[in-house]
Structure 1
Amino acid sequence: MRRRWTERARAAWRWGRKNRYTLADVGYALGSLPFVVAGMVISLNGDVGWGLDALLDGMAVLSPITGLFLGLQLVLVVPGLVALAVLARRTSPQWLLWSSLLLTAAFGNVYAAPVALYSYAAWFPDRRRLLLLWSCAHFAALTATYSGRESILVVPLTMSFLVFPLLFGLWVGTRRQLVENLRERAERLEREQHLMAESAIAAERTRIAREMHDVVAHRVSLMVLHAGGLEVSAPDERTAKAAELIRTTGREALAELREILGVLRDGGDTAPTAPQPVLDDLGKLVDNARAAGMTVVLSATGTPRRLPAQVERTAYRVVQEALTNAAKHAPGAPVDVHVDHGDRELTLTVANAAATDTTADPVPGSGYGLVGLRERLAMVGGTMVAYPLPDGGWWLRAAVPVPPASDTAGAEAADTVEEPQ
């Protein structure tokens, strides 16, 4: 029960904060009604009269019931119109000001004037606020005209009664304008910072693309060129096949490098047009590693099925990076690659023994391979564990969450439906 009342109180509080301006206007309108009605009653009693003189004289000729009826109409209708003007004080404060002025001129009723002056000063531009000084003086003069006694004190009292709401409205309007200017300045500064960040990113992309083209692409092109020459002039068939593998791998690397450079230079998120690797390409990846002299055993458990393209591409890159690291840091060591097609998870395990070819020069690494794999796996919700083995080898395990088999089966069935011609 307490929780229900707490939720209701919070909902009421949120509703009140959302509609606080409307509630304030309603409060002002209701609060002004008693004062306006009291002023109307005083006016109808004949204490003040300029606009009411002719009306009261005419009402005296009528029957008492008719005069009472007209008086009640004035007491009820005029305050209602003033209350409506108060409700519209934010959108049309000039109507409230003029209605208050007419109310004062006709009935000597100045009780709606403070709200009118405050609203006009708070919601209208500075150029129009000069009219308020004239309005205050006019209100005071009218009140002094209606008062038949102590007219000297009526003017300063009325001015003080009207000046304070005017000054408060001027302060509120100036503060609102200042806050609005600060907000616009902050938004403009944020847009400028965003544009500067985009320009810096574009410049950095261009610089990286230029360096990769000048350094990496040039050296890979030289490797492909020398491998092609070695393939032609190889003394034996084994050397020729190795040179052919180097040449084709280098060409593929150059093609992928061109796509990466294109994305960096364009600065967009356009996907490469070439087919992206999937799990079915693991066999070709292992064959290339074997052709390069590695001993790789590929095994799989579970039922293979189609998975989201990003998941399959990530799994392929994990195995590719693991084989590359094994070739760099453990040349000649056997490598075991195991793929487990689970119902909820795709698990990749790559393990290699210690290096057996101690005569080969170690290949320097960038140090960012495993970091890049963790980031790539995190994008698809996967995890990775990698650590060295006691015998000098290395063990890596990556797990990627996958949709249930029923969901992927439905997706495969939908993809196999031919579109109508």
Structure 2
Amino acid sequence: MSRAPALWQRVPAPVVDLVLVSVAAVDVWLNMWDHTRLGLALAALGCAALAFRRRFPLGVFLLTLPIALMQDVAVAVLVALFTVAERSRNRRLLAGCVALSALAGSIPWTLTEYDRTMTLVIFVYNLATAAAPVLFGQLLQAQRDLARRLVEIEEAREHEQVLHAQAVLARERAQLAREMHDVVSHQVSLIAVRAGALQVATQDADAKEAARTIRSLSVNTLDELRTMVTLLRASGGRATELTPQPTLADLHKLVESSGTQAELSGELPPAVGTPAQRALYRTVQEALTNVRKHAPGATARVELWQDGDDVGVTVTNTPPTRPSLSLPGSQQGLVGLRERADILHGSLEAGPTAEGGYRVRLRIPLSTD
């Protein structure tokens, strides 16, 4: 659920910049002690530069430094420091900017009658003053990062709930398929056998015709039951879903829209059946989802392959480039994939790689159908 932005966030950026330039100019006019032409020009340049602080934060900060030589605490310098801290993740750069600002503010005091101790105190005071906007900028940056991660967590949770529901439905349908195959099909087969025996043994024409009809209907029913069992085993979508199930032709779109930097390679023969294609698709889908959730910044490689009479897919990702948050999970994704592979007489392997990444590998017989 999205939150409405705060009131200050709804103010247009040009208006904010205009206000900051005006406040900095008033601050300079009231507090600076160097009213020479050069001093006024440098002060005007530093204040006007604040209008471009979003595009050139470091350059604007350097242009505001001369103002620190002309007054004790300069609003323009503090605003420029805040902008650099808000947009940079380089801690060394930020520490250098703080030290540079404190040094610029302390230089005028070295030219007065104050002793070294007093000058050092003034430097420490300026250092603390310069550190305040930097800390606030870093805090705002961390808040934005956290907000983005919370959105990613919510999307991942919703996606995982959908996958979990599909996995549960697939297991229920697989169980129903086994019941139909083991019980119903067996009984219908007995009916067909008994009807065939009666058709051969009886001498009555009407009984022979009735037995032939029963046997023919039983055979047709068995064919329909086999088709239904195949559909139930291959199905993993919603019960009311009438749209076509995903196939290998949809893999390119899945990889491109996965939210992860991934590449697809390899091809499979046209003889791969529909249930196997769906299993391959679901495996890639679950593996890329796990990469996005548990390995932020990692890249992934999806490889389709054929090994003799078996076909399969291998999804391998590199180690994450940034720490991941602990996400709630049902731990049913890979379990559902293994059950799907078992139904198709295949196998699924999943585990970490020696390089610190993760690999998921599905193998299915080519003659699954």
CA radius of gyration, larger in: 1
Relative to the length of structure 2, the TM-score reads 0.49
Higher normalized contact order (CA 8 Å, seq sep 6+, divided by chain length): 2
TM-score using structure 1 length: 0.44
